[in-house]
Structure 1
Amino acid sequence: MEMMMRKIIILAALFLVLLLSVCLFSPKPTLWLLQHSLFGIPQDDRPKQYLDKNVQVFKDLRYPSRYQKNQFDFYAPNHPLQYKPLIIWVHGGGFIGGDKFEVKEYATRLAYKGYYVMVLNYDLVPSAKYPEPVIQVSEAIRYINTSFANTHHLNSSNLFIAGDSAGAQIALQFLLVQHNPQYAALLKIPAILEPQQIRGSLLYCGPYDLKDMVQQANSSITRFVFKRVGWAYLQDKNWLVNPNDIGLTASDHLTVNLPAIYLTDGNTASFEQQARQLAIELKKRSVPTTTRFFDQATYPTGHEYQFLLKTLPAQLTFKDTLHFLEENRTR
């Protein structure tokens, strides 16, 4: 029995050494663990087409793309607002997980208020390489802006770009590509919209400076995870000390011609400080900026709090969202 236990301990130690060795030379073991725990892709058992709260939902439509996971869901109100405003939403998931399915309740509520909503999927790390998700948003909107808009009689000059968590960062990068030619050249992604087509942007709980996200992480484990996600996404083990500007810090590329922006974040285990700093930088450039933050002692709010629609903070933010859309859409 003692000999057997010794063998088990030795085998376990060897396995641990092997695992640590692999982790040192590849981020993939960490990603695999995350994708099977915190950032799993939920199963979506909804029918391809259904009616919910007077909203027609069309699931798993496709936009032309060079990359994988090029699906989107389309939420069409039975009673659309005048001039048919359209919200394009990029889901979150730490660049490695998540799915458009997770936005279904929010999208349905927005559509019920008269807005057309499209929630995009995009390829995920480790299959996706930076800045491919931003390219996919461009591919999707190019398709929506032409053939899909014509088929469904949508107004592609009354657009809002939205995103949550990692999707907020991707959405903001897409926005910068449309409004900053130097940034478009840096990412090698051409602008596909005229700036005036975008009426505003809604950004929820996003990281807007990926290097700072690692440096400000609240634990060594979180820092370890963020570093490996960045390693896989950027294809660079030493990305944190790489001096080259590859567009990871949004505030370095803001312009005065950006449309109105709504920013919010939770105050616990999220990126609130980055959102607050981004708001300061936007206001310095006279970009119309609306924010919603909460006092932690009064309303502790976590990452993606806005989806917890039975809570007061989420309800306030949803009211903010509707007010922002009302103020900035073509009427």
Structure 2
Amino acid sequence: MPYNPALDGVRALSILAVVLFHCEVPGARGGFIGLDVFFVLSGYLITSLLTAEYRHGGIEIGRFYARRALRLYPTLLLMVAVYVGLAPILWPADDRWLSAVLAALYVYDYALAFRELAYTIGHTWSLGVEEKFYLLWPLVLPLFLRTRRPVGWLVSAFLAVTAWRYFVAMNWTWQQAYFRFDTRMSGILLGAIAALAHFKVSKHALAMACMALLVLIALPSLPTSDQVQAVTLRITSAELSAFVLICFAAEHGRAAFLASRPMAYIGRLSYGIYLWHFPLALLLRSTQPLWITLSATLAFSFTMAAICLHLVDTPLKRWRQKAWPFRPAPCHRRPSG
């Protein structure tokens, strides 16, 4: 796939909203919806990648899994190792080994949905949602692509998952509706729809989507607001708005603001920022003034993310590209569906 800096700009906006939310900045108390943008973006990117492979010889599932593991696991394991080492000093009440295992196995999403657990590295629940998508989607996507109307089937799946989340929220707890893969994959499916449908977005629709996201970010956060409304209508509104924004960014890869060098670079750092910012923000926000919490969290997470990007991710990416170069096989081209 050709590099699209505007999509990294979308990542930057999302991670900044999440960091401001976790630092409890006034005016960003709904910034958790930045994760909904991430989910839609992941669905778009991975579906675009896998669809291209499918149409040029088929999806090499083992190779896809290996690429994902090399891209995501090293930084995660480094963060978990640092947490295990510092937990006896900074978070002595945590069951650090249980938390480390849940994070490393990508099952914090279901753990938080059904149990009261230490939340110091509980933010890895969202990685659990995405990892399950990475495991299942190479197996499931070809089934959609072989149908006559793959987008129609994906829309039906999106509506079914959304209805399921609403049912869970109204009958059980907001945690079960908010954290679980089976209730949160609606945004990922919406991203897959964007990848296959290639919608063109008008400036009017883009303005409405951006305004909706700004309003959602400013609204009070979980769990202090209406819990059912927060995990139903607000998540759906965020997903649909993110869908419009990502369709625009996909079409306008050089959009002035989103594709600017600072925004694109922050987007490239976003995975590392997400992993490193939360434990420190959680530690500081209950005892320190806002300006200390925010400045320290930003400085620490940006620094650690840059170190991981340039000293871990980039060398591994170069090695991966040499070890597994993409070789399309047009003679085995499959129908586009």
Question: Which has a greater percent of helix?
Answer: 2
TM (norm. structure 2) is 0.28
TM (norm. structure 1) is 0.29
Question: Which has a greater percent of strand?
Answer: 1
Larger radius of gyration: 1
